[in-house]
Structure 1
Amino acid sequence: MDANHEKTTLEQLTRKFITGCHILHYHNVVDAYGHLSFRHPFKSDRFCMSRYIAPGTISSPNDLIEYYVKDAEPVDPNSSKGYSERCIHSECYKRYPSVQSVIHSHSEAVVPYTISGVPLRPCFHMGGFLGTGVPVWDIGEAYQPDDIKDMLVRNVHLGSSLAATFSDGGDVPKHAVALMRGHGLTVVADNIEECVLRAIYTQKNAAIQTTALTTRAAYGKATQEIKYLSEEESAAATNMTKWSAQRPWKLWVREVEASNLYVNAA
């Protein structure tokens, strides 16, 4: 592959990344906090995410920082300040070679499922990727004595502990989403579009499940149990969202392009 082709590919991916950040903000998955990243397409030992700014304000390639997967340190030591929780991303890339994009969010619709003991489960076909249940990672069980206990994933050992939640020990993630107690969620995927889709529909699924639980409670025990997707239905629905991901993506791109808030100069 020649240098010009690599340059063009990276430029296209950078533009897609910036658009993805805007889409996540437009759909309230992130606000001033939260972040998206992608693995470098030609250097698998590196990943890219923005400097320390709100996702909705990312606007050009100058806002991106390239990091080493091994320790989440910037390739350029003179880079701008980065996010404190970039080890969430580096450790997911380190543990799972197939993962190409990661999102961390504080979605308010999802947070109740990190602290209530009620499992987040797929309620409708667009949430099939959630599988038969979503694991909840408790940072309190991963702290070391010298850690700052502010709930942030500030270092490699905390990031590694979170990343391990996605599997049963292998190098292929069993789960697409992991919840973080009292904090939010992390999403992994094979590409930016799928990662954004999973983050958005995790939030939508949580809202639907909360409505279903509230509705059932209002009518008492006379109503039937909530019917979640079966394992077979979840697997089939996951495949459906993979091949149809471009459909919502193209709509979401148009939405942010039509907004005066967002700028994408990539």
Structure 2
Amino acid sequence: MALDWYSDPKATAAPDWSKQDLKKLRHTLITANHILHHHSIVDAYGHISIRHPQNPDIYIMCGYMAPGVVSSSDDLIEYYIKDSSPVDPDAKKGYSERFIHGEMFRKWSGVNCVIHSHAEDVLPFVTSGVPLVPVFHMAGFLGTDVPIFDIAKIYEKGEQQDLLVRNARIGTHLASTFAKSNETDVPEHTVVLMRRHGYTTHGPSIESAVYRAIYTKINASIQTNAMTLKASSNLTPKFEFEPLTEEMW
């Protein structure tokens, strides 16, 4: 049985990324910014990027601006994956946390799209210690556990401790949290929570990454509501809160 690219954590998309049309991808990236804004995955902050289809050493994302107002290719910037420096030295200002994207692309060759979000529905799970688990069929991609990246544990003396991923070293630590092994092109986990910050997800395509970003948020909301209902209701004393099993994905 073929795996659904959107719901199963081990599934991948079929299209060959290197054969994708760059112009169309850039337009799709702009549309993805708007979709993420519509679903409150991003607001004035948060971002999405793609790997350049014909040059895997470059990635593309919008400049320092609200994703909802990205309107043309002129708003997009190309960066070198090796150090997240702009291909055009005269490029407009970019996001300080672009290292999230650069290091994900550098470490995982099978990742072609990366999304970083501060969606409010997910934030309780990055502050409370309560694990985020898949509670309905559309979020099976979360897998059996969702790792938490704690930036406070890796700060070096003198670094600005504002929880932002401001350099490649921190970005590498975050990218490494997606898997215990470096032996595959695609990481073991589809989502990593970032303590007191937000979450990052990825995909082999724009569509798969956007799907995961949106349904991570929806799953978090459903899980919170279910836990609240269980805690406050005396009508169903035998109710047990259970996540999806691996057989249900």
When the two structures are superposed, what TM-score results if normalisation uses the length of structure 2? 0.89
| Alignment partner of 1:72 out of 84, 88, 91 | 84
> How many residue pairs get matched?
229
Aligned counterparts of 1:62 and 1:104: Cα–Cα separation in 2: 22
Q: Which residue of 2 aligns with 1:186?
A: 200
Shift of 1:7: 11
**Do the aligned residues in 2 keep the contact of 1:216 with 1:223 (CA within 8 Å)?**
no
Map of 1:176 onto structure 2: 190
Cα distance in 2 for partners of 1:159, 1:147 equals 14
Tell me the alpha carbon deviations over residues 92-145 of structure 1, each in whole angstroms, 9 at most, x when there is no partner.
001100000000000100011011111000000000000011111101011111
Report the alpha carbon displacement of residue 225 of structure 1 after superposing the two structures with TM.
1.9
Contact 2:19–2:54 (Cα < 8 Å) also in 1 = no
Give the secondary structure class of the aligned counterpart of 1:103: strand
Shift of 1:169: 2.4
Aligned to 1:84: 96
* Structure 1 unaligned spans of 5+: 1-5, 235-266
| Mapping 1:92-241, distance limit 5 Å | 92-170=104-182, 171=184, 172-219=186-233, 222-234=237-249
2:26–2:73 contact (8 Å) kept in structure 1:
yes
For residues 247 and 105 of structure 2, the distance between their equivalents in structure 1, rounded to whole angstroms, comes to 28
Say yes or no: does 1:27 pair with 2:39. Answer: yes
Q: What is the CA distance between 1:8 and its match in structure 2? A: 8.5
SS of residue paired to 1:222: coil
Question: What does the per-residue CA deviation read over 1:25-59, in whole Å, with 9 as the maximum and x for residues that have no partner?
Answer: 00111100000000000000110000100000000
CA contact (8 A) 1:122 1:229 kept: yes
Q: Which amino acid aligns with 2:169?
A: H
Instruction: Tell me which residue corresponds to 1:14.
Output: 26
Q: What secondary structure, in the 3-state scheme, does the structure 1 residue paired with 2:79 have? A: strand
Given residue 145 of structure 2, which amino acid in structure 1 is its aligned partner? G
Write the distance in 2 (CA, Å) between the matches of 1:180 and 1:223.
34
**CA distance in structure 1 between the aligned counterparts of 2:166 and 2:98, rounded to whole angstroms:** 8
Compute the TM-score of the two structures, normalised by the length of structure 1.
0.84
Runs of 4+ in 1 over 6 A off after TM superposition: none
Q: Which residue of 1 aligns with 2:55?
A: 43
Contact 2:20 2:53 in 1 (8 A): no
Deviation at 1:159, TM superposition (A): 0.4
Compute the RMSD of aligned alpha carbons: 1.5
Cα distance in 2 for residues equivalent to 1:7 and 1:209 = 39
What secondary structure, in the 3-state scheme, does the structure 1 residue paired with 2:21 have? helix
User: How high is the sequence identity, in percent, across the aligned residues?
Assistant: 51
Q: Deviations over 1:223-243 (max 9, x none)?
A: 322121101223xxxxxxxxx
Alpha-carbon distance between aligned partners in 1 of 2:159 and 2:105, rounded to the nearest angstrom: 23
CA distance in 2, matches of 1:7, 1:132: 33
Report the Cα distance in structure 2 between the residues aligned to 1:210 and 1:34, rounded to whole angstroms. 22
Between the aligned partners of 1:223 and 1:57, the Cα distance in structure 2 is 49
